[in-house]
Amino acid sequence: MYANNKMRSYKILISLIILIFFIVVFSSQTIKASPDQNEKPFENSNFVEIDGIVIHYRIDRSDNDQPKGKILMVHGMGGSTYCWRENVRHLNTNGFDVIRVDLPAFGFSDRQPGLDHTAKNRAVWLWGLLDYLDSEQFNKTENWVLVGHSMGGKTIAEMALSRDDRVEALIFIAGAVFNSPPNLIGNISNQTPFNHILEFIIGNIIHQPFAIKRGLNSAYGREVTEEELSNYLEPLKIEGTARAWVDLVRSSSDELNNLEQLEIDSLLIWGHEDSWVPVDEGIKLNNQLSNSNLEIISGNHHMPMVTASEKVNKLIVDFLLLLK
């Protein structure tokens, strides 16, 4: 009896997999390789093509005629330029030019299929962006301050490791430097029909409002507003997003090495109650970096740049002004 039930369950599982496969294959739409650069999601939106990949970024200029520095802000998993909404104005007021960027597969940047979303590749893409901006908009001789939240922390670390001579300072906010998606998922997503099934799951479950809201509530440590939820959901509606996330899961589990080689001034900011990237990881990162300081904000979770923006803004500005 047990063997029969087990066999029946197995057959049901296989049937479901086959059903999902055919639903995905026959209902799928053509993937939009890159965003429409004529449609600006924000007044200060800009697009540039780097290595064949369209990158969306926003420029917020300093209030000063003589800016004190230039800052690149890189979001985390599921984020976008929207994540820095509570920080830009304060940085501009204190004399800093700010660039907010959407990594490929996020925000309003490229959904091009088949990309390898390793931190090293992201570093190459973002340096391409900054080289372009330095040639067109900014002072080439002045170095960049790199700010990374969560997954963006690994990206800015790779940027610094590859071109430390172009970095003035690093700021990690709940930096997921040691976190990687499980290799098992990455390996499965290389196989058909599992990549189609994963795409279906991402698009029809993970990217749905109920799932996104639950994740955001956990990250924020409070109930997100409808406006906040809407701003996270909007980019997920862009055609090709789920397929791009399959590539992301498959390729973003690269390890970060040689952190101890970084001698760049670094500020680490963590929420004490962060369950996504626990404070222990901040302590570990602080111990590996040779010139860093860890600030822990009590009562905060994974998004302190929003939920404790005044504190975070002051920490960033005070840190940067000390370097001048």
- Does the pLDDT at position 262 exceed 60? yes
Residues near 167 by Cβ (< 8 Å), separated by ≥ 6? Answer: 143, 144, 145, 146, 159, 160, 264
Q: Provide Rg for the chain, Cα atoms.
A: 21
Integer Cα distance of 164 and 240 in angstroms? 34
| Domains located in the chain, CATH noted | 43-323 (3.40.50.1820)
What CA–CA distance (Å, rounded) separates 295 from 276? 17
Provide the pLDDT for residue 39: 77
Q: Which pLDDT value is given to residue 9?
A: 53
Condensed to tens digits (0 to 9), the pLDDT of residues 203-258 reads 999 999 999 999 999 999 999 999 999 999 999 999 999 999 998 887 766 778 88
- Residue whose C-alpha is closest to residue 195's, from 206, 204, 205, 187: 187
Residue 199's pLDDT band (cuts 50, 70, 90): confident
pLDDT at residue 19 in the model = 43
Instruction: Name the least confident of 13-17, 276-280, 296-300.
Output: 13-17
pLDDT in tens, 111-141: 999 999 999 999 999 999 999 999 998 877 8
Segment holding 186, helix H or strand E: helix 183-188
Residue 32 has pLDDT above 60, yes or no: no
Q: 8 falls in which pLDDT band (50, 70, 90)?
A: low
Answer whether the bond into residue 193 is a cis peptide, omega within 30°. yes
> How far apart are the C-alpha atoms of 201 and 204, rounded to whole Å?
5
Note the pLDDT of residue 196: 78
Residue matched to tokens 């507003």: 225
3-state SS, residue 168 = strand
Q: What is the pLDDT of residues 42-97, one digit of tens each?
A: 999 999 999 999 999 999 999 988 899 999 999 999 999 999 999 999 999 999 99
What is the pLDDT confidence band of residue 192, given thresholds at 50, 70 and 90? low
Collapse the DSSP code of 190 into the 3-class scheme (helix H, G, I; strand E, B; otherwise coil) and give the result.
coil
Predicted pLDDT at 252: 65
